[in-house]
């Protein structure tokens, strides 16, 4: 259920407890900001010494104000925080912002204090941001309760770092980026990142939600909220390269890192995952452009348009690195371009003016218009010298002699490009050697993202053309918890999966020669013999394949038992491996995101090849098929060099069943089927392992 945060972002009155005239204290910075809009709502300053603060009378306590206060900011030493919270609740506060530090981040005792405070706040029907946060701001309601000013705009910034928020503000200024809201997340004792994403999704003035998070809390709930937001969410996070805490007793555990988990969650939720503040700024600049919401179906086919071959080639590479495609344009489109350009222009893609811009600056606009009108083009990346003619006239050190005529023509071309773009549902991004030139400012002023770096332009365009999810369609709900697994051994896991419809060869567990021979009578050879209760049985020499008859099976058992001395063995019918491909299907339970599936090439070389894909579990069959076909070796599934195609639909259905089982058993830390044999006539699980948490 969505929480009502109206009192947090649009309170009727505000008090700053710990307001100070001392610039070294945070209570001074917050109080200074709070007084920027005194006409919007009453702003009360509280200092235990009373007197005046920042030229305004300060109350000695909240009670001394003499009237209820809806939102209270607390910036006092740690020892006085709980008492200040109690005073705020007593005076009717419905929202509290806790600046004070020294709670969960300080250790177990601080965590216990924090939980107790949060319980009191919730019991009173109020909400708490923090503690250990740096404040909030909402430009749409003139609420300024953070130390920094944020230029108004459409980006809601939710950050665990104040310095990073400041950097994003500084980087965004040249692109005209502004902010609807800023919230410092702090320790998320009560109001969580999930609550804030959901509230910003409902906030009409917010067009993009930007998040810097180190602790997601409930990562799966964050992914679901982001998927359901109905507007872009951009995530910058830290610690992607370190492995999550896990037992790693299976291939699945060894393959999965926290980076894989976060990336999988973002893919499933449609979140734009970025690696640096610069990349976040680039993506935000693209998504904040007026054309951002057009063409919601998305599409990765882009046209590169240049006035020089070098820039075109570099831009095409950058586009493909960003996940875009730069296909050769069709004959009809090339014909239309020939009608706009001169003979030496290249029209295949990249499209190159080849000097025509100096003869006819309006050729820039004509070419952009033709490309935007092409059905086979989803977006346009214009790169190179555009802006240089006007830069020369504007004294920016660019452009050839000839000056004013070319500059005026280029500026007219910029205005015409803006007109062509207004009539198109497709995005245009520009890379220019002269991004601050008058003509580029015309483009930027109309909402066209302009960058000085080719890779930035390509990344922005990739974000602008990415399809947006309609709700949480790729995050399947977790099933209800099932009866806990009683037997985590090999045959117990097989039975659990088989009961869910996962097919296995016939098998029987044995502990001595007599049971071995009885098992051989249950089904025909050839046989497989496995030593149980060993990690990585193949590596230990605990698997014997293609045993043709009872005699061979008995001989293999005697040799293996003498060498390994295992307490139990499994006798199984040998599967037909011809024309088959071995896959791995695993599920690892992440402490933040819950069950995460890994799907890829299986067998003994799984960890070496590392051709795997990740998704939040459970994984519906349709999504499973996408993961399989997206593997580097995905083409093998459709048959190569005379090999037949395998039954991808059958494999996908089994993947769905395996991941459903894992998701329904929270006591299972890792569940793995390796290999899952997929053949032209179906799929068969050949081995299984579970690790309890």
CATH of domain 297-465: 3.40.50.261
Please give the pLDDT value at position 299: 83
Please give the pLDDT value at position 389: 83
- In tens, the pLDDT along 1-22 reads 789 999 999 999 999 999 999 9
User: How far is 687 from 272, CA to CA, in rounded Å?
Assistant: 37
Q: How far is CA 171 from the centre of its chain?
A: 21
Please give the pLDDT value at position 402: 46
1-135 and 297-465 share one fold: yes
Q: Which residues contact 294 (CB under 8 A, 6 or more apart)?
A: 424, 425, 426, 427
CB 295 within 8 A of CB 425: yes
Which single residue is written with the structure tokens 């089994």?
Answer: 654
Say if residue 386's pLDDT is above 80: yes
Both tokens of 600, joined, read 């890829």
603: confidence class by pLDDT, cuts 50, 70, 90:
confident
> Any idea what DSSP says for residue 42?
-
Please give the pLDDT value at position 471: 46
CB 329 within 8 A of CB 349: yes
Beta bridge partners of 443: none
Which single residue is written with the structure tokens 């190159």?
Answer: 352
349: confidence class by pLDDT, cuts 50, 70, 90:
very high
What are the C-alpha distances in Å from 223 to residues 84, 309, 474, 560?
34, 42, 10, 48
Beta bridge partners of 274: 236
Please give the pLDDT value at position 403: 58
Structural class in CATH, domain 148-292:
alpha beta
Strand pairing of 668-679 and 688-692?
antiparallel
Closest CA to 385 of 407, 404, 405, 369: 407
Please give the pLDDT value at position 679: 96
**Omega cis (within 30) before 475:** no
Both tokens of 191, joined, read 């109001």
Both tokens of 320, joined, read 């493909």
Say if residue 401's pLDDT is above 70: no
CA gyration radius, the chain? 31
Helix (H), strand (E), coil (C) string for 429-449: EEEECCCCCHHHHHHHHCCCC
Q: What is the mean predicted confidence (pLDDT) over 427-448?
A: 95
- In tens, the pLDDT along 634-644 reads 999 998 888 89
Identify each DSSP E strand in 192-266 by its residue range: 208-213, 233-237
Please give the pLDDT value at position 469: 58
For the chain, give the number of residues. 693
Q: What is the mean predicted confidence (pLDDT) over 643-669?
A: 97
290 versus 486: the higher-pLDDT residue is 486
CATH assignment of 581-692, among 3.90.1150.10, 3.10.20.30, 3.30.470.20, 3.50.50.60: 3.30.470.20
Strand ordering across the sheet containing 43-46 = 52-53, 56-59, 43-46, 14-17, 71-74, 95-98, 127-129
CATH topology of domain 1-135: Rossmann fold (3.40.50)
Say if residue 277's pLDDT is above 70: yes
Say if residue 292's pLDDT is above 60: no
* Sequence-separated contacts (24+) of 640-649 with Cβ below 8 Å: 643/579, 644/579, 644/680, 645/680, 646/579, 646/580, 646/581, 646/678, 646/679, 646/680, 647/678, 647/679, 647/680, 647/681, 647/682, 647/683, 648/678, 649/621, 649/625
Q: What kind of architecture, by CATH, is found in domain 506-573? A: 2-Layer Sandwich (3.30)
Please give the pLDDT value at position 655: 98
Where along the chain do its domains lie? 1-135, 148-292, 297-465, 506-573, 581-692
The dihedrals phi and psi of 268, each to the nearest 5 degrees, come to -65, -30
Q: How far apart are the first and last CA of the chain?
A: 30
Q: What is the mean predicted confidence (pLDDT) over 502-519?
A: 96
Say if residue 366's pLDDT is above 50: yes
- In tens, the pLDDT along 307-338 reads 999 999 999 999 999 999 999 999 999 999 99
Closest CA to 34 of 2, 61, 63, 69: 69
Say if residue 248's pLDDT is above 60: no
- In tens, the pLDDT along 168-214 reads 999 999 999 999 999 999 999 999 999 999 999 999 999 999 999 98
User: How far is 504 from 209, CA to CA, in rounded Å?
Assistant: 46
User: How far is 162 from 505, CA to CA, in rounded Å?
Assistant: 58
What is the chain's mean pLDDT, rounded? Answer: 91
User: How far is 143 from 35, CA to CA, in rounded Å?
Assistant: 9
Helix (H), strand (E), coil (C) string for 125-162: CCEEECCCCCEEEECCCCEEEECCCCCEEEEEEEECCH
Identify the H or E element spanning 183. Answer: strand 179-184
Please give the pLDDT value at position 143: 98
């Amino acid at each position: 259920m969505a929480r009502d945060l109206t009192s947090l972002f649009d309170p009727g009155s505000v008090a700053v407890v710990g307001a100070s005239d001392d610039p070294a204290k945070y209570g001074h910075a917050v109080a200074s900001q709070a007084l920027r809009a005194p006409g919007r709502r009453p702003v009360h300053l509280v200092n235990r010494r009373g007197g005046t603060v920042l030229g305004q009378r300060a109350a000695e306590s909240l009670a001394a104000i003499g009237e209820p206060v809806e939102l209270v900011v607390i910036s006092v030493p740690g020892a006085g925080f709980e008492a200040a919270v109690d005073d705020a609740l007593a005076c009717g506060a419905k929202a509290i912002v806790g600046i004070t530090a020294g709670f969960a981040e300080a250790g177990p005792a601080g965590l216990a204090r924090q939980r107790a405070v949060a319980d009191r706040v919730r019991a009173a029907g109020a909400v708490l941001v923090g503690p250990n946060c740096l404040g909030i701001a909402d430009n749409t309601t003139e609420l300024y309760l953070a130390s920094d000013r944020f230029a108004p705009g459409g980006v809601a910034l939710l950050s665990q770092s104040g310095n990073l928020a400041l950097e994003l503000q500084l980087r965004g200024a040249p692109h005209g980026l502004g902010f609807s809201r800023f919230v410092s997340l702090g320790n998320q004792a009560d109001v969580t990142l999930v609550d804030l994403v959901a509230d910003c999704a409902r906030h009409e003035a917010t067009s993009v939600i930007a998040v810097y998070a180190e602790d997601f809390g409930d990562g799966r709930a964050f992914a679901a909220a982001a998927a359901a937001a109905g507007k872009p969410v951009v995530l910058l996070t830290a610690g992607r390269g370190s492995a999550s805490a896990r037992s790693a007793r299976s291939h699945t555990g060894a393959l999965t890192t926290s980076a894989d988990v976060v990336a999988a969650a973002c893919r499933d939720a449609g979140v734009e995952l970025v690696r640096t503040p610069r990349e976040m700024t680039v993506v935000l600049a693209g998504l904040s452009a007026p054309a951002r919401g057009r063409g919601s179906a998305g599409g990765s086919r882009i046209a590169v348009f240049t006035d020089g071959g070098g820039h075109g080639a570099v831009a095409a590479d950058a586009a493909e690195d960003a996940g875009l495609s730069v296909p050769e344009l069709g004959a009809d489109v090339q014909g239309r371009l020939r009608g706009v350009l001169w003979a030496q222009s290249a029209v295949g893609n990249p499209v190159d003016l080849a000097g025509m811009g100096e003869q006819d600056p309006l050729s820039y606009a004509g070419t952009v218009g033709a490309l935007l009108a092409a059905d086979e083009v989803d977006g346009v990346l214009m790169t190179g010298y555009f802006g240089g003619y006007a830069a020369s006239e504007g004294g920016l050190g660019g452009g050839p002699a000839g000056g004013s005529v070319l500059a005026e023509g280029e500026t007219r071309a910029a205005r015409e490009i803006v007109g062509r773009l207004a009539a198109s549902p497709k995005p245009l991004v520009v890379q220019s050697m002269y991004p601050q030139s008058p003509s580029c400012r015309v483009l930027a002023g109309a909402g066209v993202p302009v960058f000085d770096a080719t890779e930035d332009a390509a990344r922005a365009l990739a974000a602008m053309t990415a399809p947006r999810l309609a709700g949480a369609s790729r995050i399947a709900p977790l099933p209800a918890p099932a009866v806990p697994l009683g037997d985590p051994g090999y045959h117990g896991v097989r039975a659990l999966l088989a009961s869910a419809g996962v097919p296995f060869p016939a098998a029987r567990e044995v502990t001595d020669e007599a049971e071995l021979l009885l098992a051989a009578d249950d089904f025909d050879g050839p046989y497989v013999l496995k030593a149980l209760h060993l990690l990585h049985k193949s590596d230990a020499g605990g698997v014997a394949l293609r045993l043709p008859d009872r005699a061979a099976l008995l001989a293999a058992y005697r040799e293996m038992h003498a060498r390994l001395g295992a307490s139990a063995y499994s006798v199984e019918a040998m599967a037909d491996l011809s024309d088959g491909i071995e896959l791995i299907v695993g599920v690892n339970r992440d402490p933040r995101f819950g069950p995460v599936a890994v799907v890829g090439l299986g067998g003994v070389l799984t960890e070496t090849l590392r051709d795997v894909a990740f998704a939040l579990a459970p994984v519906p069959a349709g999504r499973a098929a996408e993961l399989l076909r997206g593997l580097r070796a995905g083409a093998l599934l459709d048959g190569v060099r005379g090999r037949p195609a395998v039954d991808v639909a059958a494999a996908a259905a089994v993947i769905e069943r395996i991941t459903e089982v894992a998701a329904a058993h929270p006591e299972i830390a890792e569940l793995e089927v390796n290999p899952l044999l997929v053949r032209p006539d179906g799929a068969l699980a050949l081995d299984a392992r579970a690790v309890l948490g």
